[in-house]
């Protein structure tokens, strides 16, 4: 079992990209961890681009029941609740755990109805690149809570 | 009138520090903006350090009624509500708008009772350095909403 992170396009902002690598390295100490970046169709019109990205995520996650999709319309949890949520998946799910963050245009309302879990990091709108880093930081934080070890900055 | 950001110690993580400067530059296009960093007593025991930091923030913000203190126990808003909140202050407050983020130990429960506004960026716990950047990003985003201009990445 591993954790997969899926999103369209590499993180462009160099600082955020560096933080991303650092957190993936940190998470990898606890569980096998894979980042799946696919090329989006950045030149197409917005709705087509979103549809393409949704298709790519769906294709790559295997079973939509294992997918945790990030959207500010999702369920909010505090860091302890999120750790419990993750721990339960680690204990009772045999398939990979898959997180997906959208591109700068987000997702369509229809995509949300497909049965995946919707997770919100905040009521506030973050840039999609920020959302990636905060997700990774929270997954790392969750493992430090689950394993009861010190959070390393 | 200006916006002040107060916190203990410079942001150590070099990437976050770079993002911090970038967002302060961006906000400065809309309003005079001042970052006030004070030296904390990092070698003292936790409770004394917190008390010292609270004292410094109180001293530097002038009137506690103008202070917006960041804590996950505060009020959550989405980015549009936050923009409205900020716009109201810009229109009806004559004193400076002051945001403060704590150090890695946060604040004491007693400090929260002093009448400042408590703002939460998320139910989740972020590192104090992350909280600074997300706050700055949200203030910048709020100005783009208030002024109805394109968000520049």
Q: What is the CATH number of the domain that holds B65?
A: 3.40.1280.10
Rounded to a whole number, what is the distance in Å from the CA of A153 to chain B's nearest CA?
A: 8
| Residue A13 belongs to some domain of the structure | yes
Annotated ligand binding at A122? The verdict is yes
| Residue B152 belongs to some domain of the structure | no
Q: Identify the pLDDT of residue A117.
A: 97
Q: Identify the pLDDT of residue B62.
A: 84
Question: What average pLDDT does chain A have?
Answer: 95
| Residue A153 belongs to some domain of the structure | no
Dist. CA A47–CA B42, nearest whole Å:
51
Q: Identify the pLDDT of residue A76.
A: 97
- Interface list for chain A against chain B, based on CB atoms closer than 8 Å: 13, 15-16, 18-19, 72, 76-79, 81-82, 121-127, 130, 134, 137-138, 141, 153
| Residue B92 belongs to some domain of the structure | yes
Per the structure, the complete domain to which residue B139 belongs is given by 2-146
Tell me what the mean pLDDT of segment A118-133 comes to.
96
Q: What is the pLDDT of residues B62-88, one digit of tens each?
A: 889 999 999 999 999 999 999 999 999
Apex B147 CA angle, A124 and B151, nearest 5: 55
Q: Identify the pLDDT of residue B42.
A: 81
Chain B CA closest to residue A14: B15
- In total, how many domains does chain B have? 1
Q: Quick one: which of B125, B104, B137, B107 has its CA closest to A76?
A: B125
Q: Identify the pLDDT of residue A62.
A: 84
| Residue A35 belongs to some domain of the structure | yes
| Residue B151 belongs to some domain of the structure | no
Tell me what the mean pLDDT of segment A120-127 comes to.
96
Tell me what the mean pLDDT of segment B110-138 comes to.
96
| Residue A125 belongs to some domain of the structure | yes
Q: What is the pTM of this model?
A: 0.94
| C-alpha pair distances (Å), A54 with each of A125, A126, B75 | 19, 19, 33
| Residue A81 belongs to some domain of the structure | yes
Q: Quick one: which of A112, A25, A32 has its CA closest to A68?
A: A112
Residue of B74, B124, B153 for testing the chain A interface, max A β-carbons within 10 Å: B124
Q: Residue B20: is its pLDDT beyond 90?
A: yes
Sign of the torsion formed by the C-alpha atoms of B82, B83, B87 and B88? negative
The more confidently predicted of residues B62 and B109 is: B109
Q: What is the pLDDT of residues A51-94, one digit of tens each?
A: 999 999 999 998 899 999 999 999 999 999 999 999 999 999 99
């Amino acid at each position: 079992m591993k954790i997969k992170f899926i999103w369209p396009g590499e993180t462009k902002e160099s600082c955020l990209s560096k933080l991303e690598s650092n957190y993936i390295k940190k998470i990898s100490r606890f569980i096998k961890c894979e980042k799946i970046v696919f090329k989006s169709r950045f030149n197409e019109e917005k709705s087509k681009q979103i549809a393409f990205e949704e298709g790519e995520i769906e294709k790559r996650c295997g079973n939509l029941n294992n997918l945790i999709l990030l959207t500010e319309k999702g369920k909010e949890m505090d860091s302890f609740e999120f750790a419990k949520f993750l721990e339960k998946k680690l204990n009772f799910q045999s398939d990979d755990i898959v997180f997906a963050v959208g591109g700068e245009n987000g997702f369509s309302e229809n995509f949300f109805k497909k049965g995946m879990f919707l997770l919100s990091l905040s009521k506030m709108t973050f840039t999609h690149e920020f959302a990636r880093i905060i997700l990774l930081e929270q997954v790392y934080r969750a493992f430090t809570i689950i394993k009861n070890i010190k959070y390393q900055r």
